[in-house]
Amino acid sequence: MISSGFFILPGIAFSLTGPSVILAFFLASLLVVPALLSKAELATAMPRSGGVYFYLDRSMGPAAGTVVGLGAWVGLILKASFALIGFSIYFFGLLQLKVSFLPLQIFASLTCLGLMFLNIRGTKLTGRVQWWLVVVVLCALISFIAIGYRKVEFSRYSPFLTNGWQNLFAAMGLVFISYAGVTKIASVAEEVKNPAKNIPWAMGASLLVVTLVYVGGVSVVVGTLPKDQLMGNTSPISATALWAMGKWMFYVVSIAAVLAFASCANAALMSASRFPFAMARDGLLPKFFTQIGRTYTPYKAILFTSGIVVAFIFLFDVKELAKLASAFQLFLYALCSFAVIVMRESKIEEYSPCFQSPAYPYTQIFGIGGCLLLITLLGIVEILFCLGAIFFGMLWFYIYARKQVKREGAFQWLWNRVRQKKSDTLHPSLIQDLRQIQKEKGLKEGDPFKEIVCKAPVFEIETGETLENFLAQVSEYFKNTLNIEKTELIDKFLIQNKMGNTPVEAGIAIPHHRLDNLGEIHLVIGRSRHGLKVEESQDPLYAVFVILGCSNLSDLHIRILAELARRAEQENFMDLFLQAETEEEVHTLFLENLPDTEKIQILPNEGGKKIKRIVPLNSDQNSSSPFSPS
């Protein structure tokens, strides 16, 4: 959680903006908030491992996924290189050895090779050890701040803003990499219980703690260390401890820094090596990177990534590594905010996050604008590096990856909606992914699934009937029971069906629509023992679940739809569904294994309510009503 940037960058940033480096750290934390809220929304909507790569690939498509995957990979490589240089600086400082930059680079490279060997062997820090490392580092820094504030000379804070606002913002961009770890929980969202509450709270708490430590620590550094010693110093924390608090605190913070750097470098190298592995598995990179060794690790991806880390260690100095890493982090955070806009404006019904970013879209617009502004202030090298990554990613996609993948992102849906073009020609993989996620997330406590199912009428669809005619007759039913215009409903159901928004798979279709003036969700269950032929599926339909919901309960609507689909896909469901003789038997199939199912009181009837029969519209038996008791 405590980044390596805090131990190195205060002195470098001080040379840019003077004592206002304290403000730079604080303002940088505020710019993290839009990305934090956006990633929390995306993580609760798409709880999948892979984090930012998965979100952006599914929101903006595989072309953007290629750019983002490569960008995130390079960003983690830069972060690992930066952490390894920092490890070397503080390690030699702990031994009180003064060396030039070349020995630091050589030692950092050797350390990288050691971590590479550990990762290939499958050895890694466990979650418990990682947790204790965070606790040790936090305790050391809290002690540093508490003792250091007694030594602060407030005159050192004046003049506060020494080089103007532009340099302050440039310092913000430089130190931004220090906040890279506060949103990491999003990458393990599918393992988090109650993600709607725990993910945003965990991210928020992490950001708050880190900001307090950074601002407090930098305030101590600026207020105690003489300016000539602080200016450009790459080990300002240990230098402050030695200057103002004695050797014992120098050793405490130096050891804490070495532990933080080692942990950060290992985590960054391990995460970075998984990006080419995941992208190769998705078809965006050659299968070469998916090869697994005897220890079940992607050893070729680890070897290749480690080689790039060593190259970056020798290509860039510590300041350039920090600026480049920050630039890529800003770029990815801006894309996360943009991804939320794409997902919401695409109006894909299956996009149903448990947590929604507040103040949309102003939060996202602020996040995108702020991140892009800071990138421009970091320097021409950083701008060209980001543009180069985008260009290379797009070039690689069109040369290689485009032939390997057949999926589209939500951006294509948004583009079609802007052009008022139907989305029935789009590849259904995104919708299938989102529907599968909804099935896995399941119902929330208090969802009225049981009540909706128990009230649902069940109709038998006779031979010769079509799906369109069945939907017309269901619309007639809703007209009679809910006083709704029939023609409007028929049109809406058919449009949804043509656009591909009706889930159709495994012999089941779930036409659904939402209206503004309804107060609850209604369900009609249709069964065809002979099977309905439909254009949208090669297989006949045996079950049709028609859902009519209300616009202000869109999340509940999607959860009910997903739960119906999930239960209908269970083993033996279809056989039992086709054999059922009464509505109660059908209802029971949906309610089995639900909590407190035994407490449900089935609607009373005489001897079991028989399933109603729907006959073809052109049949003589249909003279009185489309619904006749069998």
Domain with 85 in it: what CATH number?
A: 1.20.1740.10
In a domain, 339, yes or no: yes
Rounded to an integer, the average pLDDT of 401-408 is 76
> Over 60: is that where the pLDDT of 268 sits?
yes
What is the structure's pLDDT at 489?
65
Among 374, 559, 539, 540, which Cα is nearest to 463's?
540
Taking CA 30 as the corner, what is the angle to CA 27 and CA 36, rounded to the nearest 5 degrees?
Answer: 150
CA distance 19 to 16: 10
The answer to whether residues 473 and 618 belong to one domain is: yes
Phi, psi of 406 (to 5 degrees): -135, 70
In a domain, 412, yes or no: no
Print the domain residue range for 593.
442-629
Rounded to an integer, the average pLDDT of 526-539 is 78
The answer to whether residues 159 and 236 belong to one domain is: yes
Q: How confident is the model at residue 623 (pLDDT cuts 50, 70, 90)?
A: very low
The answer to whether residues 245 and 342 belong to one domain is: yes
End-to-end CA distance of the chain: give it in Å, rounded: 66
Phi, psi of 138 (to 5 degrees): -60, -45
Summarised one tens digit per residue, pLDDT across range 470-481 is 888 888 888 888
The answer to whether residues 447 and 380 belong to one domain is: no
Domain stops at, among 379, 399, 419: 399
In a domain, 167, yes or no: yes
Rounded to an integer, the average pLDDT of 596-623 is 45
Q: How confident is the model at residue 600 (pLDDT cuts 50, 70, 90)?
A: very low
Domain stops at, among 377, 399, 421: 399
CA distance 498 to 422: 9
Summarised one tens digit per residue, pLDDT across range 564-593 is 888 888 878 888 899 888 888 888 888 875
In a domain, 292, yes or no: no
In a domain, 185, yes or no: yes
Cα within 13 Å of Cα(171), Cβ side: 29
- Please, what is the angle between helix 62-94 and helix 5-17, to 10°? 90
CA distance 423 to 400: 26
What is the structure's pLDDT at 276?
85
The answer to whether residues 483 and 572 belong to one domain is: yes
Query: Which amino acid does the sequence have at 25?
Result: F
**CATH code of the domain covering residue 515:** 3.40.930.10
Domain stops at, among 399, 422, 454: 399
Residue 145, sorted as left (phi over 0), alpha (psi -120 to 50) or beta, turns out to be: alpha
Rounded to an integer, the average pLDDT of 426-432 is 62
Rounded to an integer, the average pLDDT of 340-349 is 86
Summarised one tens digit per residue, pLDDT across range 105-164 is 999 999 999 989 888 876 555 456 667 888 888 999 999 999 999 999 999 998 888 888
Q: Judge contact between 342 and 414, C-beta under 8 A.
A: yes
Query: Please, which residues have CB within 8 angstroms of residue 522's CB and are 6 or more apart in sequence?
Result: 452, 455, 456, 478, 482, 547, 548, 549
- Choose the weakest-confidence range: 85-89, 323-327, 335-339, 509-513: 509-513
Percent of the chain with pLDDT over 90: 36
The answer to whether residues 371 and 499 belong to one domain is: no
Of 182-186, 391-395, 622-626, the range with the highest mean pLDDT is: 391-395
In a domain, 176, yes or no: yes
The answer to whether residues 457 and 550 belong to one domain is: yes
Rounded to an integer, the average pLDDT of 26-49 is 89
Which residues, in sequence order, are bridge partners of residue 613? 460, 628
The answer to whether residues 394 and 478 belong to one domain is: no
Determine if the pTM surpasses 0.75.
yes
Rounded to an integer, the average pLDDT of 515-527 is 87
Cβ atoms within 10 Å, residue 379: 17
Q: Which residue has the tokens 């057949």?
A: 406
Distance, C-alpha 514 to centroid of its chain: 27
Domain count, the chain: 2
In the structure encoding, which two tokens stand for residue 42, read together? 């995306």
The answer to whether residues 96 and 189 belong to one domain is: yes
For the chain, how are helix, strand and coil distributed in percent, rounded to 5?
65, 5, 25
The answer to whether residues 323 and 218 belong to one domain is: yes
What is the structure's pLDDT at 537?
61
Summarised one tens digit per residue, pLDDT across range 433-447 is 777 777 777 778 888
In a domain, 241, yes or no: yes
Q: Judge contact between 460 and 613, C-beta under 8 A.
A: yes
Query: Please, which residues have CB within 8 angstroms of residue 486's CB and are 6 or more apart in sequence?
Result: 472, 475, 476, 478, 479
Rounded to an integer, the average pLDDT of 64-71 is 84
The answer to whether residues 334 and 467 belong to one domain is: no
Choice between 112 and 51, residue whose per-residue pLDDT is larger: 112
In a domain, 404, yes or no: no
The answer to whether residues 391 and 446 belong to one domain is: no
Taking CA 596 as the corner, what is the angle to CA 590 and CA 598, rounded to the nearest 5 degrees?
Answer: 75
Q: How many helices (H) and strands (E) does the chain have?
A: 23, 8
- The mean pLDDT of the chain is 82
